[in-house]
Amino acid sequence: MKRKFFPALFLGALAMGCIFCLSPMNSGAQQIIQLYNTVPNAIESTEFIENWDTTSNGRILVRNVTRPTLTAYLPAKDKTNGTAVIICPGGGYSYLVINREGSDVAEVFARNGVAAFVLKYRLPNDRIMRDKTIGPLQDAQQAMKLLRERASEWNININRIGIIGFSAGGHLASTASTHFTTAVTANEKGTSLRPDFSILVYPVISFGDSLSHKGSRRALLGKDTTSLPATRLYSNEQQITASTPPTFLLHSSDDKIVPVGNSIAYYQALIRAGVKAEMHIYSTGGHGYGLLNKTNKDDWFQRCMNWMQANQWLQPEK
């Protein structure tokens, strides 16, 4: 049974265009940044009202997003290293697990000196989008563009901005990492939309029948899509080039929701293209565990930090 969660102060502040307001994700004040003055590719609908609720196991879910935002979690000034990451929560392109795959992760990044920005992206829906297949990617590209163009506000190095995604958020992150040469958001300045690195956690990668998470594919592309060009276009293991960002992948062999073959296919394609990649596969853990895989004592986030350290993304700015 779900109990409703209505962050009235949070939503009200956003409606008034407030930048600093109380986030429902924790007790501290966070910076809320609206991605657009006018949301592109949008169909106005009075029926769509952003909804937050909390499940019995503590997941905070967000649905019906029409005003995409970034929530900034900034490190202490004496810890900041100039690196930033955009966080894409999962939820099958139907909702966003905004705490366990969003704010919880952002807080740990910030404690490690990385400026973290939780992306509350629009979920594909024909009733609020003229083209739902590009809606989430528009928001991810806009987030990348915004961070680069306003980097000085948050002490960010424009060459150290990465993206992390969980589950369907991993599909969005991998799409942003393989489709950056084609802008689906306005980009008058020609700002680079390429993430400098990617972190993909139990990600949806392929829309092919053997690997696809069919709920995510159906939500983004619609029904009966197996023969459409869009199916191949958004099977991101088929879109990797030598310019695809270095990538850290994490998955579990017993994942019954998103087969581990998704991460394996992406990893193999990265290696073929000569892109640096690291992959960790647990024997158990299933799907959707966020920061904590309760089936073992390993800390995957620390492994991720080790990878970032080895690639010079955690070195303090000089």
Full domain range(s) for residue 117: 67-310
Number of domains forming the structure of the chain: 1
CATH number at residue 229: 3.40.50.1820
Q: 153-185: per-residue pLDDT in tens?
A: 999 999 999 999 999 999 999 999 999 999 999
Q: What does the mean pLDDT of the chain come to?
A: 90
Mean pLDDT calculated for residue range 211-217? 86
Would you list the DSSP string of the chain?
--EE---HHHHHHHHTT-SEEE-TTSSSEEEEEES-SS-TTB---TT---EEEE-TTS-EEEE---S-EEEEEPPPTTT--S-EEEEE--STTT-EETIIIIIHHHHHHHHTT-EEEEEEPPPP-TTTBS-TTTHHHHHHHHHHHHHHHTGGGGT--TT-EEEEEETHHHHHHHHHHHSTTS-SS--TT------S-EEEES-----STTT--HHHHHHHH-SS-TTSHHHHHT-GGGS--TTSPPEEEEEETT-SSS-THHHHHHHHHHHHTT--EEEEEESS--S--TT--TTSS--HHHHHHHHHHHTTSSSPP-
Spatial neighbors of 232 by CB under 8 A, at least 6 apart, are 207, 238
Closest CA to 289 of 78, 117, 58: 58
Give the tokens for residue 71: 């929530």
At residue 226, the pLDDT reads 60
- Quick check: is 29 in a domain? no
At residue 208, the pLDDT reads 86
On the question of pLDDT at 67 being above 60, the answer is yes
d(CA 228, CA 231): 6
Percent of the chain with pLDDT over 70: 89
Q: 44-64: per-residue pLDDT in tens?
A: 998 899 999 999 999 999 999
At residue 228, the pLDDT reads 77
- Quick check: is 51 in a domain? no
- Quick check: is 52 in a domain? no
- Quick check: is 191 in a domain? yes
On the question of pLDDT at 12 being above 80, the answer is no
Give the tokens for residue 108: 């740990």
Q: 275-300: per-residue pLDDT in tens?
A: 999 999 999 999 999 999 999 999 99
- Quick check: is 32 in a domain? no
At residue 227, the pLDDT reads 60
- Quick check: is 56 in a domain? no
Closest CA to 303 of 248, 261, 266, 247: 248
Tell me whether strands 51-54 and 3-4 are parallel, antiparallel or unpaired: antiparallel
- Quick check: is 295 in a domain? yes
In the block, residue with structure tokens 């199916």? 231
Q: 109-138: per-residue pLDDT in tens?
A: 999 999 999 999 999 999 999 999 999 999
- Quick check: is 122 in a domain? yes
Q: 20-41: per-residue pLDDT in tens?
A: 343 444 433 489 999 999 999 9
pTM of the predicted model over 0.75: yes
